[in-house]
Structure 1
Amino acid sequence: MSATAIGTTERATASYPPQTFGRVLHGEWIKFWSVRSTRWSLVALVVLGVGLTAMICASSADWLASGDADESPGSFVTWGMMLAQVTGVVLGAMVVTSEYGTGMIRSTLAAVPRRGRVLAAKAVVLTGVLLVAGTVTAFAGYLAGNFFLDRAGVGVPLDGDGVVRALFGNGLYLATLGLLTAAVGLLVRHTAAALSIVLGTVFVVGTMANLLPGTWGEWVSKLLPGNAGMTIATPVSFNPEALGPWTGFGVLVLETVVVLAAGWWALVRRDA
């Protein structure tokens, strides 16, 4: 090889630094925050998680204080987060399917041929943001809602049974649900399809499963992702037959790992 060719090769090598996981992670972080859907989804998370919790606590405080209510005040201090979980699903879908929709996934995989590294970076960014945002929003919603409950004399102390666990649990649940949606997105590669599958499973199938007869129907209801995972995010469970908080969350994590493994296989084996 001539000296000119060697020099050209060395310059080409120098212009492409090794794609370490840190570099891939930084790239995914930039992509995550460069789209408007991320910011709007997080705004919606705060509005739903804090605003709805404050509103439902304000409107229910006098009823709870009257003694006629058969509900525990603890079931209201994270009420808004039940709807705010939609934002985690949206972000989980968009972090994957938006690249397939625009064709940018081809550039991503050309720059980082090790596809598992791309998936790992996306998962770290997504779950990290949702974990922090979900936890902070849950605490803010608790403070806003409990203000009205305190004024009515039925406040829920922070050191009450299951309160702190539920507030941190909202972050855990939101992050895991977002990761589950991202895994579904890898399989279907379409935003609307991923949203329909996960939201339909969590809100529609999870509710209708309670109508299934017998013991098998009871277990199907318990093991569905939304029903299993949501128990960790509420101080007082709405369903006395539901799995325990950490058991239910463990079931959700296991289901997410299974779907994520299938998504990884699809990412590695299928063409972009």
Structure 2
Amino acid sequence: MTAIAPAPDPTTSAPASRPGLAPALRAEWIKLTTVRSTWWTLFAVVLLGAGLTTLLVGLNAEWLASPEADEDPRAFITWGMMLAPAAAVVLGSLVVTSEYGSGMIRSSFAAVPSRGRVMLAKSILVASLLFVVGTASALLGYAGANPFLDAQGIGLPLEGDVLRAMYGSGLYLAGLGVLAVAVGFLVRHTAAAVSILLGTLFVVGPMVLLVPGAFGDWLDKVMPSNSGGGMAAAVSFNPNLMEPWTGFAVFAAEVAAVAAVAAWSLRRRDA
């Protein structure tokens, strides 16, 4: 007679394993690359970062070479990267807020119950993608703009601060992408997240110049557009900025602080 094995006791069965980071990254990569908004925003980064730099330098190369010029040509070689952050924050926000708008975020959390892991996977992918595209955009802008400077005898070699501004552009956009992901998880609404970020970068940042005294100077230095944006400029138009790597360390700390608050909030709020 064949013995019949007893049914397993559900109370003593081993708990199901939770998906690790690698499956979460694969799932988020599929979601990120199968929507049109990702490609449109990345195209906007390239168009703004490379296209505007080439256009501006092409129109002003003769003036930059003239004795009347009071600006360093290096300040213009990544000029378009001053506007590319607008597209970067839209991408980072949409990665999160579009799922809250459609209700898909519940499926994401059901598949990967560790909400922090979902946030980490989104942040890694957005930062990696924006670093690559941001650096490539800066290099394309340099390749398009420098021939105009060469024609005027003021060409810039790809070294020193100019080289740092190339990968610094990628680092700045990557940090903004992580910041946008964190703000997206905090506010859960596309218009609100984009408005907060664009307002901080392009409205509040310039307005702090109106604050008088040493406190105003300090605010100007630590605003994200200045603390992080200095990495993306070979020579900044703003003489009040910190040294590029010092400023970027401050910017990274600001991004980490917002991300920590978002992760804490994510564990304690309903989906």
Instruction: Establish whether TM, by shorter chain, passes 0.5.
Output: yes
Code of the residue aligned with 1:271 in structure 2: it is D
Mapped contact 2:220–2:240 kept (Cα < 8 A): no
Mapped contact 2:25–2:125 kept (Cα < 8 A): yes
Q: 2 CA distance for matches of 1:20 and 1:85?
A: 31
Q: Map residues 93-112 of structure 1 onto 2, 5 A cutoff.
A: 93-112=93-112
Q: Does 1:238 align with 2:237?
A: yes
Q: Map residues 159-238 of structure 1 onto 2, 5 A cutoff.
A: 159=159, 161-238=160-237
Which residue does the alignment assign to 1:75? 75
Identity of counterpart residues, as a percentage? 54
Q: CA deviation at 1:120?
A: 1.0
- Please give the root-mean-square deviation of Cα atoms over the aligned residues, in Å: 2.0
Code of the residue aligned with 2:129 in structure 1: it is V
Q: 1 CA distance for matches of 2:134 and 2:17?
A: 35
TM-score (norm 1): 0.93
Q: 1 CA distance for matches of 2:257 and 2:79?
A: 29
Which residue does the alignment assign to 1:39? 39
Structure 1 unaligned residues grouped into runs of 5+ = none
Deviations 1:8-41 (A, max 9, x none): 9xxxx9xx87512111110000011111100001
Q: Which has the higher helix share?
A: 1
Which residue does the alignment assign to 1:151? 151
Which residue does the alignment assign to 2:119? 119
Mapped contact 2:96–2:185 kept (Cα < 8 A): yes
Q: 2 CA distance for matches of 1:5 and 1:102?
A: 41
Provide the secondary structure at the position in 1 that maps to 2:153: coil
Provide the secondary structure at the position in 2 that maps to 1:69: coil
Deviations 1:251-272 (A, max 9, x none): 1100000000010011111000
Q: 1 CA distance for matches of 2:145 and 2:180?
A: 29
Code of the residue aligned with 1:79 in structure 2: it is W
Q: 2 CA distance for matches of 1:61 and 1:41?
A: 29
Q: CA deviation at 1:51?
A: 0.8
Structure 1 residues 4 and 148, CA gap change in structure 2 (3 angstroms): farther
Which residue does the alignment assign to 1:132? 132
Provide the secondary structure at the position in 2 that maps to 1:162: helix
Deviations 1:199-255 (A, max 9, x none): 101111100101111101110111111111111110001111111101111111000
Mapped contact 2:18–2:113 kept (Cα < 8 A): no
Q: CA deviation at 1:147?
A: 1.3
TM-score (norm 2): 0.94
Q: 1 CA distance for matches of 2:85 and 2:257?
A: 21
Code of the residue aligned with 1:67 in structure 2: it is P
Code of the residue aligned with 1:104 in structure 2: it is M
Deviation >3 Å, runs of 4+: 2-6
Deviations 1:90-125 (A, max 9, x none): 111011111111110001001111111111111111
Q: 2 CA distance for matches of 1:24 and 1:204?
A: 36
Structure 1 residues 19 and 236, CA gap change in structure 2 (3 angstroms): same
Code of the residue aligned with 1:220 in structure 2: it is L
Structure 1 residues 146 and 4, CA gap change in structure 2 (3 angstroms): farther
Deviations 1:108-152 (A, max 9, x none): 001111111111111111111011111111111111111111112
